[in-house]
Structures are given as C-alpha cells and as structure tokens.
Amino acid sequence: MIKKWQISNVDEEKVNEISNKLNLNKLLSTILINRNITEEKQILKFLKPTRQDFYDPFLMPDMEIAVNRIIEAINKKQKMIVYGDYDADGITSITVLKSFLNSIGTDIDTYIPNRLEEGYGLNKPAVKKIADENYDLMITVDCGISGIEEVDYANSLGLETLITDHHEVGEVLPNAIAVVDAKRKDNRYPCRDLAGVGVVFKLIQGLSIKLGLKEEAYLKYLDIVCVGTISDIVPLTDENRVIAKLGLMLVNQTKNLGLKSLLISSGYKKIDSSAISFGVAPRINACGRMGHAEEALKLFLSNNINEVTELTKKLNEFNLKRQEIEKNIYEEAQVKIKQNHLDENDTIVVAGENWHHGVIGIVASKITELYFKPSILLCLENDLAKGSGRSVPGFDLYDALAKCQDAIYKFGGHSMAIGITIYKNNLEEFSNKIEKIARSKHIEEFVPIINIEGKINLTDINKQMVETLKDLEPFGEGNKTPIFVFKNLKIDSIRALSEGKHLKLTLKDINTIVSAIGFNMGNLAEEYKIGDKIDVAGVLEINSFNGEDNIQINIKDIMRAV
C-alpha cells in the first residue's frame, strides 16, 4: 500500500537555541519543537515531570461537591457502591476508588454491568437492584455522563448518584448531586483528556486534601492509574503524561499482586507503555469482552497469592479465547469480502451469523487497517444486525451515519469509532447509502500518512544520541514514537526472516553501515537487491544482541531513492 510521508519543517535556529540553552542534543530538540514543546518550563515538565506537576483537583467541575458528599457518607456510615465500566479503564477506576476508601477504613461495594447482557453504562434494572439493596450513594466511574433517564430513575427510588466520567457531554447534564467531567462546557480544569481512572485519581487526591492525608495516600495508586490511562489510549500529554511517566516508575516496583502477576505472565522484559498496551490491557479487556469483568477486578483487589495465581490463569485463558474468536471472525469476514468484492467499494460493510459482540470491534479495526477504508462489521441476530465500525483519518463515520438515519435503528460513537444497530431488511439500503457518502468524499484518494520528524544522516547519529530518545517515553496517543527519514541509503545486504515474514537489511551511508529490520515486510526481499539505493522511514533504536548494543532502524516504509 502506498503511504504518504509527511515530513515536518525543522526550524534549525530554534533547534540550536533549545539545544544550547538546555544542553539537549539536536535530535531531541527537533522532536520537542515538532510537538510544540518549546518553552523551558514546558520542556522540563515533559522530560522530567514531578508530583508538583499535578493540577489542583478542585478546579474540576463539581469536585468540591463530590468530595464533600463522599466525606458526609463516610461520617454517616452510609452505604456506598461504585458503578463502573467493564474495560481496563473502568476496572482500574473501580480498583483505585475502592482501594483508597478501604485504606482509610471505609468500605464501598462494586457493580459492573455485563457487556453481553446489559451493555455499556447505567441501566434501569441495575439501578433498581442497587436501590432495592438500600444503597444511599452510587458513584459512577468511567461512565454515567449520558445516563439522563437512569439518574432520574435513581432519584425517584431515593438513590443519590455522583458521576465521575471523561466522555463527551451532551446538551443536558444528568440530574446527579455532582457531575465531575472535565469535558463539561463550564470546565476550567487545564487537562480535558484524562481517562476515567484519571478523574478518579483527581477525586482521591481531592479527598486526601480535604481529609488532611499525606500525599502518599493517593500517589501510591499511580501504578494502577497509569495502567488505566495507557490502556484507554487517551493522549499521553499534559497531566496524562505526568500520570504515565511517574506511574510507570511505580509499575516497575508495584506492590499490587494482581498487576505484578499479570506483568510476569505477559512475558515483557521491559515494563513500558508497550507492555501495558499489548501485554496487560488486552488481558483485562478480554474479561469484559467475554462477559467476565468481575474476574479482572478481583485480580487487582486480591491480596491472596494463590487466588492471584488462579485469576491470572483465568485472564490468560479469556485472552486466548478472545484471540481465537477474533481470528475466526476475521477469517470469515475476509472470505465474505473477497467473495462479494467488497474490497472494491469505498466502504466495507460485512455481516455474519453468530459473531461475538465483545470482539467484533477489534476485527473492524483490523479490516480498516488492512484496506485503509471505513468498515462496519455486523452480527446478524433475528431481525437485527448489531455491530461496530471504524474509520480512517479524514472521514467522519459518525457524521456519515447521521446522514442515513432512516436506514438505522440506533447508533452512537464518534468520528473514528461507532456502535450501530439496524434492521436486517435495511442492510442493503444502508450499505448503498454509506457507500454513496464515502464516494462523495473521494475515499479512494485517501492514503495512510506517516508523520516524520525530519531528515537525518546516519553519519550524524551515535548510540548516546539515540539513547536520549528514551526521555520522550512513554509513547502513545498524542506522543508517538518518533520516525525519521534516511535518504539515499545503499543496500549492503538483504534477506527475509521467519519463513519470509520479516525483512532484514544492512544499509550504507558513505562509510557508515547500520542494521535495519522491517516487520511484516518480508515480501520486499524479492523487490529490492544489494546495491539498490533506497529512502527509508523508520524508528531509531538500540538493538542488544550477544552482549553488544548497536543502532538499528525499525523500518516503517521504504521507497526507491530518486
């Protein structure tokens, strides 16, 4: 697939200014400028954040009301329950709030809706059950902002609701005693992009301040807060970066038995944002996807090593099952796409019988990534087709669905990801309408964009310089791993690895030779040969092998030099 290289224009004068002023190498200074981090205070906070970089929690809407209400419930020994989501953000949110309250001698019960039976967010049967069990206060985490009717229903039953959430706010706020969400229109909190667990962290920080507790009372949960933040793919900038950077330090020495066990079982030697994103998060999310979110919560709350070992085993089994189901749906979808020539369309709408609701969104993401086209996967059940859709940058899928509502039963989401339900007999009409909208946007002209920090020469870099790029970690949404372009390199050696799956090269620039690896690019071993001149877009890294550290380029794209 052809990709577009978008290379940042480097302000050399500014690079030199920052390099000299703060004693940083030019590579690091270039990246900071590209990310609009140019002031000395900004740079120091980005590279070396401290606990002093957390904002005042009481700047967040309704935080004062929420904190005071929880303290009142504590003093009156009222019965409290935390209602959370079934994903990694929701599970860590519940863990942090319950663990904190338990640590100060207060108990709180938990409720997680079953993804397959109840779906996301507040629902009336759950609210009724909670009210019938005589709870005085229900605190939502990572959900609740859209629960207008459910909160009104809770009020009618005498159940008070306190909402903490981080999702987009509608025109009307739920009639709760407090609505803590930095996306409120009246928000003046500096960071709008906290994960749900980030909002809970601010809540326990506020509680600690009001109760006169030491900073340690809330800071000790940064390992779990960090896991939820990275897992939820929020931008790792501003306060999220402070959470992730400081939190990862705690993750590496975590006292949470469940998290420690999960990290070991994931097999990652280096505990960084990748270990969380690809090792820990999928195992937590697999529980929710398979309808067993309670098992993940138990793991994080347990202090019994035998129970932790058994629960870790269960999470791994759920994840393996999720992977198997995902693989089967993906393969079935691919067959349908090929048979019906759906890959020739500007959108891919594909439906199948008995596809798993908890997994279908992941498969939609993979289909979209493979074809670089918006895709919607639907599970056929009785008269309905329910599913998920994913889009590509530049095409607002939510807006497109809004233009064909007469063919849709219901939908929700945002520009890049949606959930949808349509009547089965409207499937063809819907497919035609969404295809027509995509064609009007000239989807066929869309290509993946590789954002490149700048052009550098191999002769200008050294191991120490590449090592300093670690100061930019943790990488994630809003702070991607930096990619550079290397021009006019000569192929010194080339071969395929792992039965033709990956590409291994050595590349030469004047008298400098560097190794390069291209994962899932093994087919290019037939396209290029020794002596060819190529341009490479890739990540600079240090490869440790047989006790030696050498610079390596992790290739993201290749094209012939011109």
Gyration radius of the chain's alpha carbons: 25
At position 396, the amino acid (one-letter code) is: D
Strands (E), 57-144: 80-84, 109-111, 137-141
pLDDT value at 60 more than 80? yes
Does pLDDT of 429 surpass 90? yes
* pLDDT, tens digit (0-9, with 9 covering 90-100), for 186-233: 999 999 999 999 999 999 999 999 999 999 999 999 999 999 999 998
pLDDT grade for 315, boundaries at 50, 70 and 90: very high
Check if CATH label 3.40.50.300 holds for domain 340-445: no
Per-residue pLDDT tens digits for 374-406: 999 999 988 999 999 999 999 999 899 989 888
Question: What mean pLDDT is reported for the chain?
Answer: 94
- Whose structure tokens read 């944002």? 273
Per-residue exposure over 273-301, b if at least 16 CB sit within 10 Å of its own CB, e if not: bbbbbebbbbbbbbbbbbbbbbbbbbbbb
- Residues 328 and 322: their CA atoms lie apart, in Å, by 10
The answer to whether domain 4-48+450-560 and domain 340-445 are alike in fold is no
Given a cut of 90, whether residue 121 has pLDDT beyond it is: no
For residue 66, the model assigns a pLDDT of 98
Give dist(CA 371, CA 418) in Å, integer: 18
User: Among 229, 327, 218, which residue's Cα sits nearest to residue 280?
Assistant: 229
pLDDT at 79: 97
Predicted pLDDT of residue 545: 79
Q: For residue 549, what pLDDT is reported?
A: 86
Q: Read off the pLDDT band of 115 (50, 70, 90).
A: confident
Q: What does pTM read for this prediction?
A: 0.91
Q: Is the pLDDT of residue 413 over 80?
A: no
Say which residues have a Cβ less than 8 Å from residue 76's Cβ, sequence separation at least 6: none
- In CATH, what class is 57-313? alpha beta
Does residue 415 register a pLDDT over 90? Answer: no
- pLDDT > 70: what percent of the chain? 100
The residue with greater pLDDT, 111 or 171, is 111
Domain ranges of the chain: 4-48+450-560, 57-313, 340-445
CATH number listed for the domain at residues 4-48+450-560: 2.40.50.460
| Section 529-543 average pLDDT | 94
Helix (H, G, I), strand (E, B) or coil at 2: coil
pLDDT tens, 464-482?
Answer: 889 999 999 999 999 999 9
Rounded mean pLDDT of 154-180? 95
Does residue 81 surpass a pLDDT of 80? yes
Q: For residue 98, what is the enclosing H or E element?
A: helix 88-103
Q: Decide if pLDDT at 547 tops 90.
A: no
Q: How many CA atoms lie within 13 A of 522 on its CB side?
A: 8
User: Which string of DSSP letters, residue by residue, matches 382-395?
Assistant: TTEEEEEEE--TT-
Q: How confident is the model at residue 546 (pLDDT cuts 50, 70, 90)?
A: confident
